[in-house]
Amino acid sequence: MLSLLLMLPLGLRVQAQDWEWHPGYYYDLNNIKHTGLVQVSTFDNGTAYGTSKFKSSEFFRFKTDEKSPQQELYALDVQSVVVGADSIVVRHWFRTDRKGRVKKDTAGNEYSVASFLKVELNSGETKVYSKLLDGNNYGTYTGYYYGKNADNINDINTDTFAQVMSDIVKDAPDLVEKINKEDFKLRKMEKLINAYKTKKGITL
């Protein structure tokens, strides 16, 4: 399974359209390390993969130094990218029709997609991810997901928040109590995650 991991310096958080250059490196599919500057956005930037009409991949930008020309690299074409302490992984999924069937071209090729998810919690069996989404006329907002890995996730919404997050932070009873008292709700997810990380000494 191909997984793209981007890590940002402690305290540095990638925002919706943070096309800023940060020192880092990536490993290509031949396991060769390329060191330089990385520019990435967690907002949806999916584009056609090469000449294929049935592959779509988000991308990031890379250059070896300040004076070098930049390259746009597909998530599908690298093993990992490292920039410091926050991390972003790639979710691999397939486009489906209204009946849930995977779309295919005339040759039978499935329409595959690779998109970025930010890792919010990675210390337990169940992970928590997030992504900046387009709220149309309401601007961008953060969507949250949970699952064992980025390719197998479910939405965290107002109906599932208490049950899902109580299970994920069950080793912090005081936080579970606050969830049950509704001191923490979905709109306060970032505060809950930060409180849990602080309590457990988690830096990623």
* Domain residue limits, the chain: 6-156, 157-204
Confidence at residue 173, expressed as pLDDT on a 0 to 100 scale: 97
Distance, in Å, from the CA atom of 56 to the CA atom of 59, rounded to the nearest integer, reads: 10
182 φ/ψ angles, rounded to the nearest 5 degrees: 65, 25
Question: pLDDT digit of tens for each residue in the chain (204 aa)?
Answer: 444 444 443 333 444 345 688 888 888 889 899 999 988 765 665 565 555 555 667 788 899 999 999 998 887 777 776 765 557 777 777 778 888 888 887 778 787 777 778 889 988 899 999 888 877 777 788 999 999 998 899 999 999 999 999 999 999 999 999 999 999 999 999 999 999 999 999 876
Are the C-beta atoms of residues 114 and 63 closer than 8 Å to each other? no
Confidence at residue 199, expressed as pLDDT on a 0 to 100 scale: 94
pTM value > 0.85: no
Distance, in Å, from the CA atom of 196 to the CA atom of 166, rounded to the nearest integer, reads: 11
